Amino acid sequence: MRLGSREDSRRNAKHLRDEMTPPEIALWLALRKNDAGLRFRKQHPAGPYVLDFYCAPAALAIEADGEAHARGDRPERDATRDAWLKAQGVRVLRYAATEVLNHTDGVVRQILAVAIDRRVKLQAARRPPPPSPSAPPPPGGGG
């Protein structure tokens, strides 16, 4: 699934790729070499937002949230962002940064399981329906 992006989002994404946090780096190193053959993008622009990670075949966004996401207006802003992504058909998985650092393998296993399941379901939904059986010719040959 292609998500449109704005110029400022693309510029911000490029900057964020150079400034990844330790949890984002740990997750990126694990996701980019996965055995499922899924391709993840890091710091991917999506509309007015930048996603920590995005798997297009699964329409799946992954966020590694630091403690700042629990303060001030961040929970509300995250909810608005998640609602926008959901309207685009994207599922969001959020993990606390400490969980990513302390349980990287388990987090990655869960992400891959969700991504594989979503990819299969999305591929099935995109397949055209089987052709309907041909109607028998009308009596008398129809011609």
* Phi and psi angles of residue 35, each rounded to the nearest 5 degrees, phi first: -80, -10
- Which of 102, 129, 105 is CA-nearest to residue 34? 105
Could you read off the pLDDT of 109-135 as tens digits, one per residue? 999 999 999 999 999 998 776 666 776
Give the model's pLDDT for residue 85. Answer: 96
Rounded to an integer, what distance in angstroms lies between the CA atom of residue 27 and that of residue 21?
A: 10
Which residues on adjacent β-strands are paired with residue 53? 42, 62
- Which of 122, 140, 104 is CA-nearest to residue 30? 104
- Low-confidence stretches of the chain (pLDDT < 50) are 1-2, 12-16
Q: Is the dihedral of CA 39, 3, 112, 22 positive or negative?
A: positive
- Which of 84, 82, 101, 83 is CA-nearest to residue 25? 101
Radius of gyration for the chain, computed over Cα atoms and rounded to the nearest angstrom = 20
Rounded to an integer, what distance in angstroms lies between the CA atom of residue 109 and that of residue 63?
A: 15
Give the model's pLDDT for residue 11. Answer: 56
Distances 44 to 11, 77, 105, 126 between C-alpha atoms, Å = 11, 18, 22, 24
Give the model's pLDDT for residue 66. Answer: 77
